[in-house]
Amino acid sequence: MLAEKYPREIQAIFAKYPVKRSAVMPLLYLAQREEGYIKKESMQEIADMLELDVTEVAAIVGFYTMYHDEKAGKYRMQVCTDLPCALRGADLFLESLCENLGIRVGETTPDGLITLEEVKCLGGCHRAPLFQIQESDTVTFHENMTVEKTMELVEALRKTVNT
């Protein structure tokens, strides 16, 4: 499917890497670009192209927070809760955010807008609570957040979707 749909992009990716397996991350990005997540069939195809085991490809998808193997809301809100962030209130922030959104971690709001995820280390512990929002090819970081500011952001996202 990928090879048929994106032959030029794949050829350009392979041209950048002298070792085939080094192209795994750009190929995963290409596979995720269209629907916001990587299907199992795409992981298998990438594994076949790179002469890897599909488990190796799936491990990369599972390790990096920028790759996803499940469909989600229009926006993925990923809240960092590692220890330094927890010391700055990230756990309580996440709990309150769940209450305000009416969902649990890993769930999507009923309107399909936000999928809330818990992640480790976004690299800004001194500015926690913080989260990143992923939308297709865009990632935005939000630092020193409160639940109130976050809910204002969610409402602004809702308005942009509904206009």
Q: State pLDDT tens for residues 37-89.
A: 999 999 999 999 999 999 999 999 999 888 999 889 999 999 999 999 999 99
What's the length of the chain?
Answer: 163
Question: What is the model's pTM?
Answer: 0.78
- Structural domains in the chain, CATH included, are 2-63 (1.10.10.1590), 75-162 (3.40.30.10)
